[in-house]
Structure 1
Amino acid sequence: MLNRQLAPESFMLKDLSLTKPAIKDLSNGVSVHIIQDDTNPVLKIDLLFEAGRVNDEKPGQSLICAKVMVEGTKSYPGSELQELLDHYGAHLDVTVDYDYTTVTLLCLKEHINPLLPVLKSAITEPLFEAQDFEKIKLQQLQKIRVNNQKNALIATKSLRKKLLNGTPYSQTLEEEHLTEISKKDIENYFDQFLTLKPAIIVAGDFDEDIFNYFEEHFGMLEFSKFADEYDNTLSPIIEEDLIKREGSVQASIRMGSVSIPRNHPDYFDLSITNEILGGYFGSRLMKNLREDKGFTYGIYSVLINYRHLDYHIIGADVKIDHVEDTVQEVYKEMEELKTNLVPEEEIKTIKNYMLGKIASSLDTVFHQSENYKVKLSEGADYLDYFEAYVNSIRNITAERILEISKKYFSEKYCVVKVA
């Protein structure tokens, strides 16, 4: 009989089973990156465009453009587009982040031929109807108004403005920005940036017939080339800022510093060290501020990487009486990592946790395609990246964690407190 008083035996993950993507080019030079898996007859198609919020002339341009693109096209106007997608049980979406725009189609393999024209229509002939434009703008305005009442989002936006000062990454969308955007602005954004040559990433049950469908629908399209004109200078404002809000019963804290990109030689080891500090539920910050002191329900520490800059952020919502104490305890935990070696048992725990976390983030073909998309956008080799990451986790030592902590946790942090 199973003894439930004994925990299951743990073991170190040995190898990752990653599908090596195949790459085939269409007649027009567009690359199709294929992650094959015939387990289920489903396909996920991502068209990745090298443009995002950093390319906005007016904040909000790219976001509104993305939302309106799938409201209707010349070939599938109005509700006809959504009715067709519903008929085939498919999903079409456009997402935009600071560096990239992704147009995604998710569907059954058997429906790919009638749905590829829909995907093509979305990226070549969106209608941008006035009523759709106004509807999306109103939705986003309402969202901003709700978010601007939340201490956590106020703190995050304030930190971005200070820490990422001098770059478009510091921009946060506000009501006045949306009121200034016209339908012509989003049409101009589309004409300038959504006509760039995309990369196509396909995950799922892909075969030669489907590639021929891609050639038929996308192989003859003409795309422009991307001219990267990013010339902004990061000028972080490192200071402590207290934003008082009447009636607050809980405070939000954000602490940030400029960090390093994923291709930096120290990145993997810094990522591991950051997990120990505040990257998972058993981290030092969680044990100190949640379990021991009861200041917060949760605190996180994360490395954020963009195309042109990178930063480290620590965030928590805390009891309003313990704002200053929380900031001091964060610095105290950083100092501890810079001063004393991490015990071997703690290192073993973080190794097992991080290897399991990587494995779970790659456990389906769609998860693998998401990770592949990120690596492709960064110009990194997908397989080599994860092999090197796993190797770093397996081999990191207490001495190396101490070295990394001294190197990267010694900076003065920008601190924003909203209470």
Structure 2
Amino acid sequence: MLDRTKAPETYEIDAITLQVAEVTNLSNGARLHVIKSETQPVIRLDFVFKAGKWFEEKTGESDLAVKMLQEGTLNHTAKQIADKVAFYGASFENNHGYDRTEFTLYCLSKYVQELLPLVLDVLQNPAFPEEEYNLLKQRTIQNVKVQRQKNSYLATHSFTKQLFGEEHPYVFGFDEGALKTLTKEDLQQFYRNRFLTQELEVFACGAIDTPMQRYLEHGIQQLQLQPSKASYITAQKKAAVYAADKSSLVYMEDSLQSSIRMGRRFPHIKDKDYLQLLVLNEIFGGYFGSRLMRNIREDKGYTYGISSVISTKEKDSMFYIGTDVNYAVTDSTIEEIVKEMRLLQQVAVPEDELQTVKNYMLGKFLNDLNTIFEQCDRYKKVVLHDLPLSHYNEFVTTVRTTTAPELMQLAQRYLQPDELYTAVAGRKS
């Protein structure tokens, strides 16, 4: 009989095993990655294009081009697309990013033959209807105007401009005025250059048997793809142009709050220090029990929430701290952030705190592998960032073996306050 007075045994995580996809190089130049699981009768298809902000010739064109693809094709109106997806209880959505753009279909596996032709029609035959383009452009301009009234948006925009330079594609957001000069022809040209290329990666996961896999291969290779074209952006434009002044203030006269962003560029995901920096970041501000939360939320009561993040892109990484506080304690909050950095540089992390963070990180990592979709996300990251298949085992090993002295050395190297950029949107006391 189960003795509920005793806690269950715990075990060390030595290694993990992720499903590795079966990869097929299709005749049109695309690659299909298939990860099979029969636990649920569902399937997810991710069509991943090198069509993010990195490849823009004009500000905002990648964002609008992506949205226009679902505004109608040569064979279906936008309403017909939405109605058919809804009829089968499916989901078809897009995700536009800095490096890539994804179109994702979720559906029951038995309906793939009804829905895949529709998805391929959207990707291959967009109509770019004039009326929908004008409405989309107006909505987007209005949305940007609304966002630019928010302190958090302005602080992040200002911070990334400091970090990368005015014209860098990794700058967050944009001025709505930049969209006014965009034309429908600009979006069509971006589509031709970036969505019809042989760099397409397709990830299929879920209840996929052999006939289904053959059907996917046959369908996807009907897309007419061309050799990829070089990125428009010059090497000089891609390079970070550091701001002379490490502090900036976007003054909001009537604001009672200030949004704070502090940080710097960080080692790339392939760098030897990257995995240990994940541990350091978790201790500093990466989870609810972090030092920043205990100090600035629990002890000082300056904010509802504060966090530090390592944001990884394909070409670069950045580390930043973000929070919103009453404007009167803006300077005090920044002082406390700096104080916590100094402590990590001068005092070794206690063993019990370090072990708690390690257990949290490994437990969360395992919990995030519960479904086949989550496992596919991990695999997709390995492919898109060109990482070794051993990456996640290296992550587990690094988390388990990282020591307090190593973290102190990393803090001394990467968390120097005078090397950080600080952007505030709002007011100071």
Calculate the TM-score normalised by the size of structure 2.
0.92
Check whether the contact 1:296–1:316 (CA below 8 A) recurs between aligned residues. yes
Distance 1:31 1:416 in 2: 42
- Mapped partners of 1:351, 1:136: distance in 2: 46
Alignment partner of 1:169: what SS?
A: coil
Shift of 1:407: 1.3
Q: By how many angstroms is 1:218 displaced?
A: 2.1
Query: Could you say what secondary structure the match of 1:141 adopts?
Result: helix
Correspondence for 1:370 among 369, 377, 385: 377
Q: What's the secondary structure of 2:170's corresponding residue?
A: helix
Q: Paired residue for 2:398, among 372, 380, 392?
A: 392
- Residue 66 of structure 2: SS of its match in structure 1? helix
Alignment match, 1:109: 109
How far apart are the structure 2 equivalents of 1:7 and 1:214? Answer: 47
Residue 151 (structure 1) aligned with residue 154 (structure 2): no
Q: 1:30 offset after TM fit, Å?
A: 2.2
SS, match of residue 313 in structure 1: strand
Deviation at 1:139, TM superposition (A): 2.2
| Equivalent residue runs for 1:74-153 within 5 Å | 74-153=74-153
Deviations 1:40-64 (A, max 9, x none): 1111001111121111111111111
Q: 2:255 aligns with which of 248, 251, 254?
A: 248
Matched with 2:408 is 402
2:311 to 288, 297, 304: 304
Q: Name the SS of the counterpart of 1:226 in structure 2.
A: coil
The structure 1 segments of at least 4 consecutive aligned residues displaced by more than 6 Å after TM superposition are 6-9
Task: Give the CA deviation at 1:262.
Answer: 0.6
After TM superposition, the score normalised by the length of structure 1 is: 0.95
Structure 2, unpaired ranges of 5+: none
The one-letter amino acid of 1:68's match is: M
2:202 is equivalent to residue 196 of structure 1: no
SS of 1:333's equivalent in the other structure is helix
Deviations 1:189-236 (A, max 9, x none): 101111112011001011211122123322243322334445122112
Q: Percent identity?
A: 32
Number of residue equivalences: 416
| Secondary structure of the corresponding residue to residue 46 of structure 2 | strand
Residues of 1 paired with 2:77 and 2:224: CA distance? 23
Q: Counterpart of 2:46?
A: 46
Q: Is the 8 A contact 1:95 1:101 kept in 2?
A: yes
Counterpart contact for 1:13–1:356, Cα < 8 Å:
no
Q: Is residue 219 of structure 1 aligned with residue 221 of structure 2? A: yes
- Give the 3 Å change call, closer, same or farther, for CA 78–293 of structure 1 in structure 2: closer
2:246 matched to which residue of 1?
239
The answer to whether the aligner puts 1:177 opposite 2:184 as a matched pair is no
**Which of the numbers 266, 270, 288 marks the counterpart of 1:259?**
266
Alpha-carbon distance in 2 for matches of 1:349, 1:282: 10
Which has the higher mean CA deviation after the structures are superposed, 227-236 or 121-130?
227-236
1:71-92 deviation digits (Å, cap 9, x = unpaired): 2111222321111111111221
Query: Partners in 2 of 1:308 and 1:292 — Cα distance?
Result: 38
Q: Which amino acid aligns with 2:241?
A: S
Q: Which amino acid aligns with 2:66?
A: A
Which region of structure 1 is more displaced relative to structure 2, 214-223 or 287-296? Answer: 214-223
Q: Deviations over 1:254-302 (max 9, x none)?
A: 0021111111011000111011111001111111101111111111101
Structure 1 residue 35 displacement after superposition: 1.4
Where 1:296 maps in the other structure, the secondary structure is coil
Aligned to 1:285: 292
| 1:2 Cα offset (Å) | 5.1
Distance 1:134 1:10, change over 3 A: farther
Contact 2:21–2:34 (Cα < 8 Å) also in 1 = yes
Contact 2:124 2:224 in 1 (8 A): no
How far off its partner does 1:9 sit?
6.8
> Using the alignment, how far apart are the partners of 2:37 and 2:420 within structure 1?
45
| Distance in 1 (alpha carbons) for counterparts of 2:29 and 2:131 | 37
Aligned equivalents of 1:291 and 1:8: distance in 2? 31
- Aligned residue among 361, 371, 379 for 1:354: 361
**Deviation at 1:368?**
1.6
User: Using a 3 Å threshold, how does the CA distance of structure 1 residues 299 and 9 change in structure 2: closer, same or farther?
Assistant: farther
In structure 1, list runs of 5 or more residues that go unmatched. none
Note if contact 1:95-1:102 (Cα within 8 Å) is conserved in structure 2: yes
- The amino acid across from 1:211 in the alignment is Q
- Code of the residue aligned with 2:78 in structure 1: it is G
Instruction: State how far apart, in whole Å, the 2-side matches of 1:117 and 1:276 are.
Output: 48
* Alignment of 1:273 onto 2:280: yes
Q: Which residue does 2:55 correspond to in 1?
A: 55
Contact 1:279 / 1:302 at 8 angstroms: preserved in 2? Answer: yes
Tell me, in whole angstroms, the C-alpha distance in 2 between the residues paired with 1:277 and 1:96. Answer: 30
Match in the other structure for 1:161: 161
Rounded Cα–Cα distance in structure 2 between residues aligned with 1:356 and 1:207: 32
Residue of structure 1 in register with 2:209 after alignment: 207
Structure 1 residue 418 displacement after superposition: 1.7
| Separation in structure 2 between the aligned mates of residue 339 and residue 171 of structure 1, nearest angstrom | 34
Alpha-carbon separation, structure 1, partners of 2:64 and 2:305 = 33
Output the aligned Cα RMSD. 1.8
Change (3 A) 1:284 1:9: farther
Verify the 8 A CA contact 2:13 2:396 in the aligned structure 1: no
Deviation at 1:131, TM superposition (A): 1.6
